[in-house]
Amino acid sequence: MAAKATRQQIVDAADELFYARGFAATSFADIAAAVSISRGNFYYHFKTKDEILDAVIEKRLADRERLLAGWDETAPDPARRIECFVRIVIANQTKIMAHGCPVGTLVTELTKLGHASTDNANRIMTLFRDWLTRQFEDLGCGTAARENALHVLSWSQGVATVAQAFGDEAFVRREVERILQWLESVRQQATGNP
Amino acid sequence: MAAKATRQQIVDAADELFYARGFAATSFADIAAAVSISRGNFYYHFKTKDEILDAVIEKRLADRERLLAGWDETAPDPARRIECFVRIVIANQTKIMAHGCPVGTLVTELTKLGHASTDNANRIMTLFRDWLTRQFEDLGCGTAARENALHVLSWSQGVATVAQAFGDEAFVRREVERILQWLESVRQQATGNP
DNA sequence: GACTGATTAGGATGATTGTCCTAGAAAGAC
DNA sequence: GTCTTTCTAGGACAATCATCCTAATCAGTC
């Protein structure tokens, strides 16, 4: 139980540090210091840095799956669910302006490093893409569902990058309004409902 | 002259390596090997790694300024100039799918590193933003010019990130068509011309 | 209370890093 | 041809890193 707690603490700390500083720039010592344990103890739980990375990816994946499943249950229709997705850039605005998108920046970094876990990290991107595709299908978009899903995903990545660069809150709000307006027009065209 | 050539070679090699692997993951030895010079010779031209980074940023900035100035001269109207900007994601598609946007990924990395040259790198982002703003102003968008500029910039960053993640060429083409359609509607509304 | 396995601490190791130094080669001035 | 400046080479340095190892401590069982 103490072990479980320690392991969980390590993954949580690594998750935040990888997000804030990047994977490569975060050292064993950094994570150990954040959890207040020794490097030796560290090695007992994770034999390599790549193992921690994979654990962090699994955690992030599980977190996002839970988030999406929650929206599937609570939001009444696909359009509202997509809106939930869109609004996370406002909910997480402060963190995004400081460190960008947790998913996009990790994939970018691992790709550049030629890291073996790149595909693994990409599973989170794929999760978002497929979930969004399902929502647009439910909305009645048919074959355009996947295209629209990638459009929303791409939109979120762009907003995160520019928000990080300029730290412009008003920009984020305007972009959310803009994409929601687009979403509404897609919904009307797909359903025929006003 | 030999010195100038060597220095230029170093900057060019660093530019490519920083793009392909990232700034932190590129070592002195990597750049030296790419140019086939010794680390000692290296130090003669650049005293610190940060100096190389700043030189690379200056080069990228100058390259982009030249690119934009070229469009200012060759393209007949602001809408066509913005279209030139949009189409670079197709022209550079292969590199973007491999390493993302050279500007966006650098800013993201330096921000995470808390690097002193973050603001410096952001000057390239700002260059794009201000140039795009000028184009939308010339188009007659008035106060919406800056908002539209950020929209296009954000669009390009999102496309680059998703293209890098999924390696989907068709997605890039569709997104270009989409934004050009939007651009056309903005132009019509701003100018009143068909 | 002794025993066993899980957990922790902290130092050792070898590789890599950015930085620095010194000596020699090249090149141009006089 | 000598001299001075510019350039190049290659090794030395301390710091940092991921990784590994060994010994101590803890918790639960008999």
Q: Tens of pLDDT along chain A (194 residues)?
A: 455 689 999 999 999 999 999 999 999 999 999 999 998 898 999 999 999 999 999 999 999 999 999 999 999 999 999 999 999 999 999 999 999 999 999 999 999 999 999 999 999 999 999 999 999 999 999 999 999 999 999 999 999 999 999 999 999 999 999 999 999 999 999 988 77
> CA-to-CA distance for B65 and A179, rounded, in angstroms?
31
Q: Which of B93, B82, B10 is nearest to B45 (CA)?
A: B10
Instruction: Measure, in angstroms, how far nucleotide D18 C1' is from residue A114 CA.
Output: 18
Residue A8 (CA) to nucleotide C4 (C1'), in angstroms, measures 26
Whether chain B has a CB inside 8 Å of the CB on A158: the answer is yes
- Amino acid A194: pLDDT: 74
> Is there a contact between A2 and A41 (Cβ–Cβ < 8 Å)?
no
How far from chain centre, in Å, is Cα A71?
A: 15
**A166 contact to strand C (CB, 7 A limit):** no
Residue position matching structure tokens 């393209």: B75
> Which residues of chain B does A156 touch, with a Cβ-Cβ cutoff of 8 Å?
158
| N-terminal to C-terminal alpha carbon distance within chain B | 55
Does the beta-carbon distance from B154 to A158 stay under 8 Å? yes
Q: Using CB atoms within 10 Å of the CB of residue B73, give its burial: 0 to 12 exposed, 13 to 18 middle, 19+ buried.
A: exposed
Count Cβ–Cβ pairs < 8 Å, chain A vs chain B: 125
Burial call A3-42: b when 16+ CB within 10 Å, e when fewer: eeebeebbbebbbbbbbebbbbbbeeeebbebbebeeeeb
Q: Does A122 touch chain B (CB under 8 A)?
A: yes
With CA of B38 and C1' of each nucleotide, the nearest comes out as: D9
CB distance B12 to B51 below 8 Å: no
Mean pLDDT of chain B: 96
Confidence check: pLDDT of B1 > 50: no
Of the partner residues A21, A112, A161, the one whose CB lies closest to the CB of residue B157: A161
Nearest C-alpha in B relative to A173:
B147
For residue A2, the model assigns a pLDDT of 52
Q: Which amino acid is at A193?
A: N
pLDDT in tens, B125-173: 999 999 999 999 999 999 999 999 999 999 999 999 999 999 999 999 9
Higher pLDDT, B168 or B2: B168
The answer to whether the beta carbon of residue B38 comes closer than 7 angstroms to any atom of strand C is no
pLDDT classification of B2: cutoffs 50, 70, 90: low
Residue B2, nucleotide of least CA–C1' distance: D7
Place of tokens 């189409």: B87
Radius of gyration of chain B (CA): 19
Residue A38 CB in 7 A reach of strand C: yes
Nearest-CA residue to the C1' of D17?
A: A27
Q: How far apart are CA B192 and CA B194, in angstroms?
A: 7
**What burial class does residue B132 get, using C-beta atoms within 10 Å of its C-beta: 0-12 exposed, 13-18 middle, 19+ buried?**
buried
pLDDT 10s digits, B74-117: 999 999 999 999 999 999 999 999 999 999 999 999 999 999 99
Whether A125 sits inside 8 A of B158 (CB atoms) is no
Nucleotides of D under 7 A from a protein CB: 6-12, 16-23, 27-28
